[in-house]
Structure 1
Amino acid sequence: MTQQKTTPTQPPVVQDLPAEPEPAFGWTQYAERINGRVAMIAFIALLLLEAVTHQDLFTWLGLR
């Protein structure tokens, strides 16, 4: 019988992931990302509100 020699393998190199942006004051990429997400959620909520109540936002708020 022949024995196979195993060669030691090196562990895979783990690449550093980009750091998450931290909250900061002003016009930052983090703030813009959060504002965009909130705007998308608000837009969908307004569409659902109009679909459920069959009224637009201004009528629902009593401004018309």
Structure 2
Amino acid sequence: MAAPEPTVKPNIQDPKFGFNFYSEKLNGRAAMIGIILAIIIELITHQGVVSWLGLI
């Protein structure tokens, strides 16, 4: 005989911190914007981002 299925589902909220779907999506979008901005800076200034920041 199979175990009975539960009739009520618990109301579990997503965590606000840590690895969850929303934070991973937001982090990926921020990384894509950062890479695009770095490429645009290199195209405009004809220098790498590190030298543009004065680190070399």
Structure 2 residue aligned with 1:57: 49
1:1-64 matched pairs, under 5 angstroms: 24-64=16-56
Query: TM-score, normalised on structure 2?
Result: 0.71
Distance 1:61 1:23 in 2: 37
**C-alpha deviation, 1:23, in angstroms:** 7.1
Q: Distance in 1 between matches of 2:33 and 2:40?
A: 11
Task: Name the TM-score, length of structure 1 as normaliser.
Answer: 0.62
Aligned residues: 43
In 2, Cα distance between equivalents of 1:23 and 1:56: 39
Detail structure 1 runs of 4+ shifted over 2 Å in the superposition: none
| Map of 1:13 onto structure 2 | none
**Structure whose residues are more often helix by fraction:** 2
Contact (CA 8 Å) 1:50, 1:56: kept in 2 or not?
yes
Q: In terms of Rg, which structure is larger?
A: 1
RMSD of Structure 2 on Structure 1 (CA): 1.4
Q: Distance in 1 between matches of 2:19 and 2:31?
A: 16
